[in-house]
Structure 1
Amino acid sequence: MSLWPIVESQYGIKIRSTTQVKDVYKVETDHATYCLKSYDFPEEEVRFITRVLSCLDEHQFTQSQKVLPAIDERAYITHEGAYYTLTNWVHGQQPKFARTSDIRRGISTLAKFHLLATGFPALEAPESRIRYSRLPGEFSDYKSLLLPHRSTGHLVELCDEALELLQQPEVLETIQQEQLNSSFIHGDYNYPNLVKDKKNTIHLIDFENTSMHVRAKDLAHILHRNSLWNAEGMLRLIEYYMRYRSMNTSELHLLLALLTAPYHVVRNIRIGGFRSAKPIIPSKDQLRKYRRELRALL
């Protein structure tokens, strides 16, 4: 049986048209526009993703998608072995983080999201999505990817420095506190997963990478992606973030560890191989300057 009659019967809607947009479907009815997304994750992880969105809704966060329950109140449906969620369609366009106004909106929205991204019912999170203790393994994986390349020795040293920073008592304390707070993150917070509406409000979409993790991970991700090897630019954005959500000294030590790790180079190697990463590998002088200026974070 086709997917669309299943969607109509399970949700009690009458579909007027459907359009595929990247990996989701835009579903038009006479009364509303929805986003239908499929997942190939285990069911417990799909349930977790929908529960994160429900948690944000319960916290009255208005800038993430809302899950439309099926007629039987389930947060997702199944069809031919796949799981599907139906959420509201967010109208707008991707923000352009090359613009100061848009990157600031993105940073302030992240801070406001993080203020509410705690208190998730810990027993409802599958073990595969509890990732507080995974940072050392992530940084070690970075080393493994960089070691085969002769021009990345200084980045391997950067991984070692990041691993040492993770072992600082204040960093370990922060990670433990984030777990006690049941903090969670978006997991891929950057312009492809953000939509700016006509009122210039930023909305978060696509929570498929959400997990129980330290909130500094989201912040480090957007800083690596948009201020690469530019410590002064990072510090300005961190200061702007802290206008909306303060961070204590221990949290800043953790953020320093995350910003020290050469995430963006590793990301490019994974996506397009070493040739893709080569243009963004810093020189040793550039890296020394970055590390020196980044220390001002503390």
Structure 2
Amino acid sequence: MKVFSQKVQIAAAIDKLKAKQLTIGLVPTMGALHQGHLALVKSALNENDVVVVSIFVNPTQFDNNDDLEKYPRTLEGDVALLKTVSENQILVYAPTVEDIYEGHTVSQSFDFDGLEFEMEGKFRTGHFDGVGTVVKRFFEIVKPHRAYFGEKDFQQLAIIKKLVEKHRIPVKIIGCPIHRETNGLAMSSRNTRLKPEYKKAAPFIYKTLKTAKEKFGTKSASKITEWVEKEFANHNLLKLEYFIIADTKTLKPVKRKSKKSVYRAFIAVYADDIRLIDNIALN
């Protein structure tokens, strides 16, 4: 498996593949790969001749320097895991910060039509400018035909679709279902940092989302939100940061349900100092 650390190298390799009329898929990751990432890679391999997996812990999307420092970096293990899927059809691009930012490690400013100010945007200053900057950079370097993102980061997926639309980037964005552990916990690289008691408690998040979905047929969004807040107030380990029922197009919290709209419930929870997010389709 070829691992590239410089954009000039990966760009040259892709040019050769495209000269052979081969299609390129891109799966952007921050590494510490798990089965959820592999599901994205497998989806990409089903629809493309070659898949580029980028592994890059992007400093500009972290508003917490401690979180950036603690984020797991496991390149050797990541490459070994990718080899279990395919040795020949996957290229790994693991750049340095210098290779991506060229000595100027700051975010570009974006206008995502307000999507960036909802949910995660309210709690993580500048996060989506960082995401937009690095994803746009990867699109420019790799020039993929298709790019794959998990629905666990549903807001990020919506923002990347908006990025592509507004900047007229010729790539098809494909959202893939949330991959879960057997206990229902949404797979995340952060899960590896959970202490045993928090790992045991964390499936409560998805259990609560499933019950919220059941209640959505008969209860108002505000009543469901009150119920979720009460459930977490009574939990001795997990601390709720937010629970929001939002329109999937605008990501704005719903005030009154409409049969014409599609809704999702979004949640962010602290398990000790580890921040976990999840969501579920409601209708």
Give your verdict on TM over 0.5. no
Q: Write 1 or 2 for the structure with the bigger share of helix.
A: 1
TM-score by length of 1: 0.28
Q: Write 1 or 2 for the structure with the bigger share of strand.
A: 2
TM-score by length of 2: 0.29
Structure whose alpha-carbon radius of gyration is higher: 1
